[in-house]
Amino acid sequence: MVTNVWSMVADGTRREEILETGAALFASSGLRTSLKDIADACGILPGSLYHHFDSKEAIIVELVQRYRDELDEVAKEALDALHEPDQRPIEDRVVGLGEAIAACAVRHRAALLLTLYEPPTWAGEELVDLARQTPAAIEAAMLEILQARGAAGAIRPGIHLRLLAERICQSMLHIGVGVFHRSQASRHLPAEKCRVFLHGIAVHAPSDAALDRSPSMAAAREAIAAWDDHQDEDRVTHLRTTARAEFGRRGYEATTIRDIAKAAGMSTGSVYRMFGSKDELLASIMRTFSANLAAGWDAVVSSPPSSSSSLDQLDALMWVNINVLDRFSDEFKIQLAWLRQSPPSSVDLGFSFGRQLQQLKQLLVAGEQAGELSVEGGSALNRARSLYELLLTPENIVRDAGPSAAHALARDTVMRGAMVRS
């Protein structure tokens, strides 16, 4: 009997070790991680691992389920506190829940990356169901905080509270995607981002009319309109368009040249004559995407400084980013597939366009010196990194609410802040 008890304890300990090792490897190496990789890291034979899990997907399912369960517990604790005689102001409640969500995302980085937006194409039914579940509990808890009695009069009229709750929660989850959270300077990042959504970065809140007629917005609209000028109907463009959709739908690793050729109505040989390899085809697609995004940013930041404030330019950049997600959703999905396949190891996740980060840093410093805006944080570079993510409205909000509503939300939060100003 004693032997059986110790055997059960040993099995439980080994199972936990496998899960923890798998989580670490998936977080650093993504879906390329194999069962053999996990077994080797645990110092056991692959056959011994099968005693606990019958597949790689079984490990992923359990990691994702634990992540979802902890998010639900975070939401429950926030709601329980809301119903207690607690006189904390709304800002403290929002920040408290935001910090708890971010901490959960960091702890479960592997599960977060593996379920980011769409599940892998090879996923079984159980993993697909788990991956497609939205973090409804934390969003509902955040919404209830924003709607609570203590929030009456604190939130400005006209704010779309459901979208605001969704935006805050997603921003907190995204803290777990990169590795910037590992730096000492970022320990206050969740609170700082929550306060931006509540108070905005503008020292004096600009009106929609003033932002709409700024030279920066005119430059952004002109750049966005120019994206269409580069579209033609030749076979290469048709092939790139088809490949974008296939890479976005299947993921880069799972898509073959044969798949692309079939979808495009071409022979495999014809595809290879236009592009020497799948890598070359993908690079061509992403170069076009990057060029369009860079052109939009360049147009905005080079708008006449005498007639455009830093706030005008930041607002116009948000509009460029929203339109990029709306117009180039396939490229965005390709980037997410890359994250799943090869998780980032640099603090510059999301800032691969180094020129744009420098542009944003310059705008931030100029705006602060002019007394137009204020962003909490450490160095100018770290504050620019944080602001970069805040200027990116999540793709699902752009898709579900539409570009105009997504931009209105961005102005009501990042620019002006959702709370009534004293």
Contacts of 14 (CB under 8 A, 6+ apart): 42, 44, 52
Indicate whether 346 pLDDT > 50.
no
Q: What is the mean pLDDT of the chain?
A: 83
Quote the tokens at residue 244: 């974008």
Q: How far apart are CA 12 and CA 9, in angstroms?
A: 5
Tens-place pLDDT, residues 269-292: 888 888 888 888 877 877 777 888
pTM of the model: 0.83
Look at the alpha carbons of 336, 338, 339, 345 in this order and tell me if their dihedral is positive or negative: negative
Indicate whether 3 pLDDT > 50.
no
Closest by CA to 50, choosing from 59, 60, 41, 61, is 59
Indicate whether 148 pLDDT > 90.
no
Tens-place pLDDT, residues 86-114: 677 889 999 999 999 999 998 998 888 87
* Residue 159 near residue 167 (C-beta atoms within 8 A): no
Quote the pLDDT of residue 323: 95
